[in-house]
Amino acid sequence: ALVASSGAFAQKYPDKTITMIVPFSAGGPTDTVARLIAQSMSNDLGQQIIVENVGGAGGTIGAARVAKAEPDGYTVLLHHIGMSTAPSLYRKLSFNPLTDFEPVGLVTDVPMTLIARSDFPAQNFGELVSYIKTNKDKVSYANAGLGAASHLCGMLFMSALDTNMTTVPYKGTGPAMNDMLGGQVDVMCDQTTNTTSQIKAGKVKVYAVTTPTRVPSLPDVPTTKEAGLPNFEVAVWHGVYAPKGTPKDAVARLSKSLQVALADPNVVKRFAELGTEPVAQDRATPEALGSHLKAEIDKWAPVIKAAGTFAD
């Protein structure tokens, strides 16, 4: 019956509001990306996409929600690199990123920035490193939980420095940023989509970007490589997923709509202001996201194993 009705489904879809789950707090970097593309996709689909924030446990609560949602094309997930680190970080994960979802397409690769509260004593990357090494556990590091990009970046940074900071977990780096602006937390590694405006306004200190080349919207900020950590590199890729079993026609329609959104001049402009850019058209596809996810799971498994960070 499903197959026979698929033509009719394709003509009707979507005929009601679609919910896009963001597995982190409102006002943060994932939310920012989601709202930009949701707006543009809504125009293309002729139906509203509502963004719903389901934060907690480094993005795994929101992802689990979508894994278990009705596979009817009306619930989708926008998640990032955490989709590939969670299987290694959590001994018991209630979903399987590879088998519980239909990939829709890749969205964007976002650079990260190492930042600190505006009155933090370190003035540059070298001073940051020596300050952390000297003060260790007295320095607080904000992240969005095990599985967040800010967790991954912090873990790699501490391991590269062979030192430690005291982790303060949030449900997203939106609220973490608020605490940093209030001077309640010291250091964070967070995506340019959340940090650019605060950096430009001088409300936080910035030490480095985590990409191999400088970020055009932050031309004065050195890369971690330039700053002296040649092997330290993180780019936060984002993807859209539907629950496993979502009709192929709906997945194809969503993927096409994602491609339209990523070519939208407003989206391109806002992304650029936020230090990022849309992926190429041929990466905003189910095939590209499916193979990227698999490759990233394989890439991070040994790194996380070596770092020895786990949750049950």
Contact 80, 238 (CB under 8 A): yes
Residue 34 tokens read as 């989601």
Distances (CA, A) of 106 to 279, 292, 298: 7, 9, 18
Contact 98, 124 (CB under 8 A): no
* 3-state class (DSSP) for residue 220: coil
Please report, as residue ranges, which positions from 127 to 146 form the binding site for ligand MLT (by CB under 6 A): 144
Of the pair 13, 95, the CB lying nearest ligand MLT is at: 95
Q: How far is the CB of 1 from ligand MLT (least distance, A)?
A: 39
Buried b (16+ CB within 10 A) or exposed e, 169-190: bbbbbbbbbebbeeeebbbbbb
Q: How far is the CB of 32 from ligand MLT (least distance, A)?
A: 8
Would you say the C-alpha torsion 309, 293, 141, 189 has a positive or negative sign? positive
Please report, as residue ranges, which positions from 52 to 91 form the binding site for ligand MLT (by CB under 6 A): 80, 82
Binding-site size, ligand MLT (CB under 6 A): 15
* Binding-residue pattern over the window 23 to 52 for ligand MLT, x denoting contact by CB under 6 A: -xx--xxxx---------------------
Q: How many CA atoms lie within 13 A of 257 on its CB side?
A: 26
Q: How far is the CB of 125 from ligand MLT (least distance, A)?
A: 20
Rule CB under 6 A: say whether 154 interacts with ligand MLT.
Answer: no
| Closest-CA residue to 175 (of 271, 310, 56, 311) | 56
Of the pair 149, 260, the CB lying nearest ligand MLT is at: 149
Of the pair 144, 279, the CB lying nearest ligand MLT is at: 144
Q: Indicate which single residue of 54, 122, 149, 240 sits in contact with ligand MLT (rule: CB under 6 A).
A: 149
Q: Indicate which single residue of 73, 174, 247, 290 sits in contact with ligand MLT (rule: CB under 6 A).
A: 174
**What is the DSSP code (8-state) at residue 170?**
-
Q: How far is the CB of 78 from ligand MLT (least distance, A)?
A: 10
Residues at the contact surface with ligand MLT, assessed by CB under 6 A: 24-25, 28-31, 80, 82, 144, 148-150, 172-174
